[in-house]
Structure 1
């Protein structure tokens, strides 16, 4: 018996803002709305598919910055430098967590300050 991650929940001040940001980053679509929460995920699979969905849940006290768990993303249709430009244009910001400058990844923050990393390796598109 085993488990699989089906969804990630991110408490946030502005679910609309982060749903738009993360949908644009990941190529996800809105799947559901419930009591202020917005669920986004792959258009062809949705909840229960091989890729987890993300629920942006409203919170008056979300934690921002260095969370115990963060999201790593990889480019799928361009190299890392081009993807970094795209993410910054979408509203991501560079984050300094003590990197040396020699890392093969970029530490970024979403519009609410939640850290995530852009890794170097280009992956195949899941679609």
Structure 2
């Protein structure tokens, strides 16, 4: 028996703002809120336990130091990388420098709270409904 990633938990100064951003990026919807201010987002039809992991944006006031030890990679599903880069920047992503050379086939971006993520080149098929 093996495990599967079901949720990714991200500490957030403003969980609401990050929930809106990541929902737009991934086509996710809000699945629920906890009393502690956490917001879970995920695929609108599958929700928790589906083929894609959900994201839990958990309130935290702890200061972030340095580059994240783990980051999210995303791939476009319905457009090429350049068009998706424009869309992500319009949603509030910012270019991020983590020491890349400029010759990479991916773009390093940061979400509205500075969490790095990469936009890869390959176009993936969307998850079927």
**TM-score category (smaller protein):** over 0.9
- Where does 1:48-87 land on structure 2 (aligned, <5 Å)? 48-63=49-64, 66-87=67-88
Give, in whole Å, the separation in 1 of the partners of 2:113 and 2:82: 23
Aligned to 2:9, the other structure's residue is in SS state strand
Task: Structure 1: give runs of 5+ residues left out of the alignment.
Answer: none
Q: What TM-score do the two structures reach when normalised by structure 2?
A: 0.95
Q: What TM-score do the two structures reach when normalised by structure 1?
A: 0.97
Change in Cα spacing, 1:82 to 1:38, as seen in structure 2 (3 Å) is same
Task: Structure 2: give runs of 5+ residues left out of the alignment.
Answer: none
Please name the residue that 1:95 is paired with. Answer: 96
What is the RMSD of the two structures over their aligned residues, measured on CA atoms? 1.0
After superposition, give the CA deviation of every residue in 1:4-29 in whole Å (9 maximum; x if it has no partner).
Answer: 00000000100000000000000000
Aligned residues: 127
Task: Confirm or deny that 1:3 pairs with 2:9.
Answer: no
Please name the residue that 1:39 is paired with. Answer: 40
Structure 1 residue 63: deviation in Å?
Answer: 2.7
Runs of 4+ aligned structure 1 residues displaced above 3 Å come to: none
Is the 1:12–1:59 contact (alpha carbons within 8 Å) kept by the matching residues of 2?
yes
